[in-house]
Chain A
Amino acid sequence: MADEPLVLGIETSCDETGVGVVRGTTLLADAVASSVDEHARFGGVVPEVASRAHLEAMVPTIDRALKEAGVTAGDLDGIAVTAGPGLAGALLVGVSAAKAYAYALGKPLYGVNHLASHICVDQLEHGPLPEPTMALLVSGGHSSLLLSEDITSDVRPMGATIDDAAGEAFDKIARVLNLGFPGGPVIDRYAREGDPGAIAFPRGLTGPRDPAYDFSFSGLKTAVARWIEARRAAGEEVPVRDVAASFQEAVVDVLTRKAVRACKDQGVDHLMIGGGVAANSRLRVLAQERCEAAGIRLRVPRPKLCTDNGAMVAALGAEMVSRNRAASDWDLSADSSLPVTDPHVPGQAHAHAHEAGTENLYS
């Protein structure tokens, strides 16, 4: 297969309809249509609203990505799609589109893992991933520490949240402070003008007997809400900037501390941070400081590649093609709980299925 395969990737695991095009580790296009505004009034992503929006946005977004990349569909070496994990109904829209597109074009199909894609996207920013790479993935849907020896075949979970995802905690605190949805960017903004040391909020799961790499944000969320309610009950004004800064500090302190510890324990000298929360400015600064102090090289993609997008799926798909991984079958299903240990969903009789499909198309 080509060294620098041209791959189109489709992502619909949550509320972004993402279509990206890459050539090897080079980003050619990253088209995203978001339904986030339709969810704002609900204070969270509504699965049926997201699925409906994916159906409407898909064809225009594919068109836009191809134009942006300056390639034609016939030139593609493969089609990649998020097979899971994510919202079942939303994933199914993307998987249906990818299968139909690959089949109609006579191209191989790669159903890939959303979390592995979040890691692999960094290749588009900083070149080939070091092996091994430690990855901290933080978003509204996930908070995990993963160790990847080979992003196409070997991704191991080191730790994960035992309750809320980090991004969820941001959304909930933003709601308590009446700052709207999504909470990440707005908390970040207020926090910049606040004192991160003003209020000592708890650091979850950081005791000596707690699991070293797991996270918990539920207790922090409750503590912050309680603190705010106490002020309100006493008729005092809530210092929104200080609360935002102190809450954010508690989250990023734990995230970076555990990530650096995992790197040290495992003898890994590279840390990548991905997912929507990786756009948080304080997380980026603190991670940089702590990695430098520990002699670890930090890799964080630009914010637009950290949030859900199709380019990350294309990046992992391209890696599957260049490493000759088996393509997926035409009966590929969306798997809302696809394990992180499955970077992709290889077909049962992939060679046969695809030969048959191609023959049927072009004989």
Chain B
Amino acid sequence: MLLLALDTATPAVTVALHDGTDVIASSSQVDARRHGELLLPAVDRVLAEAGLRLEAVTGIVVGVGPGPYTGLRVGLMTADTFGLALGVPVHGVCTLDGLAYAADIEKGPFVVATDARRKEVYWATYADSRTRLTAPAVDRPADIAGRVAGLPAVGAGALLYPDTFPSAHEPEHVSAAALAALAAEKLAAGEELPAPRPLYLRRPDAQVPKNYKVVTPK
């Protein structure tokens, strides 16, 4: 097994190679505005570091979000196209699950929250690092304060809003290394991973134009 994992659902552009047992190379850069530029060179670097060619990869793992859409699509489109060109399966993993796995918490419950911008967070609760309790959602921190009260929390979304998440801590961003390890574990256990479709969680912003503006002065 050789998995190439990538995630662009958060400000991090993160890539890792996993041979089924260990992460053999990885790269993480935090730059929310340059996902498009950074991802391919990072893949190239990680492969070079491992002394492997892309052809050797047996599967692609990609974070499906939730995340801000423009960046999120960079990873998904790249993964989809790699899958097409290489003829290998592409597995989707919820980005919040990757963060939960990286948090390495054996006994929860705890919260994972990432920054959804517009003063909102993407979040879910977990029983432990491998077990999600609630579906990923997007909310204003104040609106979920009651539901997350007293729970430890990880992720940039938690660190950003200490009023709602007073005991927030690292990891801040998801790592493809964690995503790959989680996927490798699930695949080894015979679990099927979901298709790599984006978790947007919001409808597109689309203002229906009002009836055309009357231009004749009254």
Q: For the complex, count residues of A whose C-beta is within 8 A of B.
A: 48
Selected interface stretch from B42-50, B158-166, B167-175: B42-50
Interface set, chain A 52-93, CB cutoff 8 A to B: 52, 55, 58-59, 62-63, 73, 88-89, 92-93
Secondary structure class of chain B's binding surface, majority of residues? helix
A172 and B102 alpha carbons, distance in the complex (Å): 52
| B215 x A222 contact (CB < 8 A) | yes
Chain B residue numbers with a CB within 8 Å of A176 are: 212
A41 interfacial contact with B, CB 8 Å: yes
| B84 x A59 contact (CB < 8 A) | yes
| B216 x A226 contact (CB < 8 A) | yes
Q: Whose C-beta in chain B lies nearest to the C-beta of A73?
A: B85
Chain B residue numbers with a CB within 8 Å of A331 are: 37-38, 40-41
Selected interface stretch from B68-76, B104-112, B176-184: B68-76
Partner of A92 from the list B36, B54, B212 (CB cut-off 8 Å) is B36
| B77 x A93 contact (CB < 8 A) | yes
| A361 x B36 contact (CB < 8 A) | no
Q: Whose C-beta in chain A lies nearest to the C-beta of B74?
A: A96
Q: For the complex, count residues of B whose C-beta is within 8 A of A.
A: 41
Chain B residue numbers with a CB within 8 Å of A55 are: 73, 76-77, 80, 198
Chain B residue numbers with a CB within 8 Å of A92 are: 36, 70, 73-74
Q: Taking beta carbons and an 8 Å cutoff, which residues of A are in contact with B?
A: 41-44, 46, 48-49, 51-52, 55, 58-59, 62-63, 73, 88-89, 92-93, 95-97, 99-101, 103-105, 172, 175-176, 222, 225-226, 229-230, 233, 330-334, 356-357, 360-363
| B84 x A101 contact (CB < 8 A) | yes
B39 interfacial contact with A, CB 8 Å: yes
| A360 x B73 contact (CB < 8 A) | no
B204 interfacial contact with A, CB 8 Å: yes
A332 and B44 alpha carbons, distance in the complex (Å): 14
A301 and B36 alpha carbons, distance in the complex (Å): 33
| A42 x B209 contact (CB < 8 A) | yes
Interface set, chain B 129-161, CB cutoff 8 A to A: none
| B43 x A229 contact (CB < 8 A) | no
| B81 x A100 contact (CB < 8 A) | yes
